[in-house]
Amino acid sequence: MVTFDQFKVVLADPSARASLGIELSDQQAATLLLNDAQAIAYYEQWSRPRPQKRWDGVAVSGFILTIIGTLFATAGRFIVVDFLLLGIGLLSSHLSTRTRYRGRGLAIAGIAIGWCGVAIALRLLLSR
């Protein structure tokens, strides 16, 4: 955690500002250094923790269930379950692009695994 005094020292150095992610021009930084009230307000806003995105439960569960469904489908059983879980993966991918949650990568991975499971299961069913 950067103290206010350290923050003021950082404001004077452009490379230090850039390394800490403070996007101010030299003129803006000089203005803040001259006015302590504005500097304190900027410091409090800058040092406030930013909320982290939560994981999308549908994407995570879709990924895990798709892996399980693929294992069952490749064993020659429950190919319908694999199609159902593939649909959950598609739904979670669509929803994760429109929400503030993380998990789109898991949803896409679940879709890919689901299609692989369907292909393997169909190959096994057709080869019998």
Q: Are residues 36 and 95 in the same domain?
A: no
Report residue 96's pLDDT band, with 50, 70 and 90 as the boundaries: low
Largest CA distance in the chain: 81
Residue 76 falls inside a structural domain:
yes
Q: What is the pLDDT of residue 78?
A: 65
Q: Are residues 41 and 73 in the same domain?
A: no
pLDDT digits over 48-92, tens only? Answer: 887 777 887 877 888 888 888 777 776 666 667 777 777 777 777
Residue 65 falls inside a structural domain:
yes
Residue 21 falls inside a structural domain:
yes
- Contact criterion met (CB below 8 Å) for 96 and 103: yes
What six digits make up the tokens of 24?
């101010």
55 — phi, psi (to 5°)? -75, 140
Q: Are residues 24 and 79 in the same domain?
A: no
Q: Are residues 77 and 109 in the same domain?
A: yes
- pTM of this structure: 0.54
Residue 52 falls inside a structural domain:
no
Domain count, the chain: 2
Domain that holds residue 62: 57-126
Q: Are residues 67 and 21 in the same domain?
A: no
Residue 81 falls inside a structural domain:
yes
In single-letter form, the type of residue at position 24 comes to: L
pLDDT digits over 97-123, tens only? Answer: 666 778 878 888 888 888 888 788 788
